[in-house]
Chain A
Amino acid sequence: MDREEIQTIIIDFIETNFEMSDIGLDDDLNAVHGFDSIDAIELLREIETLMQTKLTRNEEEQAMGIRTVRQIVDFIENAIKDRA
């Protein structure tokens, strides 16, 4: 799974499930789209499904500081690399 595929999947998931639209790669998801901690936890579960693995507690805490889609994609890429 390359970076572009991950980005498409994440944006599609957010737009479909969270009823948000026109998401820019560097938009602050909370400030611009009202993305909150409930959405973040739900997105983490989707990332686990995507990666077919469970995230560690440290990874989850790190992920809660994420603000943009670009950062989400970076996070997933790194998590995949760590498991390779």
Chain B
Amino acid sequence: MERRVVITGCSAITPIGYSKEDILKSLENGISGVSSIRDDELLVEQLNTRVFGTVDESVDYDFPRKYRKTMGPVAMSACRVVDDVIKQSGLDKALLSSGRTGVAFGSSHGSISVLKKVFQACFNAHATEMLSLSAADYLKSMVHTTAVNITRMFEITGRVICSPSACTTSSQAIGFGYELIKFGVQDAMICGGAEEYDTTTVAVFDNLLACSTNYNDTPERTPRPFDADRDGLVVGEGAGAVMLEELESARKRGASILGEVIGFSTNNNGGNLIMPDPAGVAKVLEMGLDSARIDADQVEFISAHATATRIGDVVEARAIHSIYGDRPWVTGLKSYIGHTIGACGVIETILTLYMMERGFIVKTLNLDHVDDRCSMVRHTPQLMETKIDCAAVQNFAFGGINTSLLLKRFS
């Protein structure tokens, strides 16, 4: 038996704000969260790109030390947004610790700032001799650090899925959480992803010539998804979480329902680990619709992955057109926040939920002149007040992984 899955809590720490009101204000006013990259005294000087989607807002991480001691920055931001969604959803401790609530969460790496300390110690004979690495360093830097720090802090005893798959980390987390509830394995899942400031990720994309470099002096003008003058992605930081619940148990609790997940698909291109594959991307969009059991013309808004790379945007626009035609409005939300890698899927899902609730769609920032090769889809031309009943959030990752999430306004 298949069960309906609803969203009863969401929270995001993003370069355009942490509170829902701040995020909506930035979206409505076309304010970018991209700024100059921070100096890590290690790699920044060697990079061609100098822009980053930065969280400038001060966020409280006032957790007791017994929890904090096993967290690097990435786990702290994860636990912050999870604390928010637990409070918002009203899920109590008995349910969290019932074994019927689980966690699907990830990040690209464990805490990269802690990993740097580990590597520095390994290459420093004196530090190694005195065993300068603390016992908690592994718990902070292991790849499932976000998921298990969440289980510890909130005493969650159900399934744990750690989904580090770069840019599809958190969209897979939501999708896998959705499937566990849909098929009766769990009743609630806390899903999402986080990414802390990491110059090494920037360096990797920079070396691949994938980062934006033409707007180093005017950071707010990049990234430029689908624009003729786009020149690459902008890496960013952030975190996001959603609480997914089985509809009837959420109703019984009297929870406020923010939206419904009606479908999820994920596949792999089965080939190149870096270049996007038109067939693989189109297939995952088609599979998403099949999963949701809806027709393409029922989707009114698409949150595109749209990293603003030269090839990726063209492949995505063509794939959207091949499955959806030119009916749904298409926006690249990374134009506001940059590419938060492991957090992008959940943040873009939350921004879409916010817009569904408020009844508007924002344009893609910096989309001044649509690239002819991306012009076959219906780009959102300006802030538009419109009701969205059904939306798709799509993400694609290094490694050839693709995802599509289908969301519905709850009524």
Contact = CB atoms under 8 A, between A and B. Distances in A.
B65 A38 contact: no
B69 interface: yes
Contacts of A56: none
Given A48-B130, A49-B130, A37 B66 contact: no
Contact of B134 (A34, A45, A49): A45
Nearest to A52: B130
Contacts of A48: 130-131
Q: How large is the interface on B (under 10, 10 to 19, 20 to 34, 35 or more residues)?
A: 10 to 19
Contacts of B130: 45, 48-49, 54
A38 B70 contact: yes
Given A19-B64, A19-B65, A38 B135 contact: yes
B256 to A, nearest CB: 35
Interface string B124-150: 000001111011100100000000000
Given A19-B64, A19-B65, A34-B66, A42 B134 contact: yes
B69 A38 contact: yes
A41 interface: yes
Contact of A18 (B65, B70, B131, B135): B65
A70 B131 CA distance: 25
Contact of A37 (B64, B65, B132, B135): B135
Contacts of B131: 45, 48, 54
B243 to A, nearest CB: 28
Nearest to B136: A38
B36 to A, nearest CB: 35
A39 B70 CA distance: 11
B135 A41 contact: yes
B63 to A, nearest CB: 11
Interface residues of A, number: 14
A36 to B, nearest CB: 8
Nearest to B134: A42
Contacts of B70: 38
A76 B388 CA distance: 68
A37 B136 CA distance: 10
With most chain B CB atoms within 10 A of its CB, the pick from A36, A38, A42, A49 is A38
A14 B138 CA distance: 21
Contact of A41 (B65, B129, B134): B134
Interface in B126-180: 129-132, 134-136, 139
A43 B131 CA distance: 12
Interface string B39-70: 00000000000000000000000001110011
Given A48-B130, A49-B130, A42 B66 contact: no
Contact of B136 (A34, A42, A49, A54): A42
Contacts of B66: 34, 36
Contacts of A19: 64-65
Interface in A25-58: 34, 36-42, 45, 48-49, 54
Nearest to B139: A38
With most chain A CB atoms within 10 A of its CB, the pick from B65, B66, B136 is B66
B135 A42 contact: yes
Contacts of B69: 38-39
A47 B279 CA distance: 60
Nearest to B66: A34
A9 B7 CA distance: 51
A72 to B, nearest CB: 16
Nearest to A45: B131
With most chain A CB atoms within 10 A of its CB, the pick from B70, B130, B132 is B130
Given A38-B135, A45-B130, 14 more contacts: A18-B65, A36-B66, A38-B69, A38-B70, A38-B136, A38-B139, A41-B134, A41-B135, A42-B135, A42-B136, A45-B131, A48-B131, A49-B130, A54-B129
21 contacts: A18-B65, A19-B64, A19-B65, A34-B66, A38-B69, A38-B135, A38-B136, A39-B69, A40-B135, A41-B135, A42-B134, A42-B135, A42-B136, A45-B130, A45-B131, A45-B132, A45-B134, A48-B131, A49-B130, A54-B129, A54-B130
Interface of B: 64-66, 69-70, 129-132, 134-136, 139
Which 10 pairs across A and B sit closest by C-beta, in order of nearness?
A41-B135, A19-B65, A38-B135, A38-B136, A42-B134, A42-B135, A34-B66, A45-B131, A38-B69, A18-B65
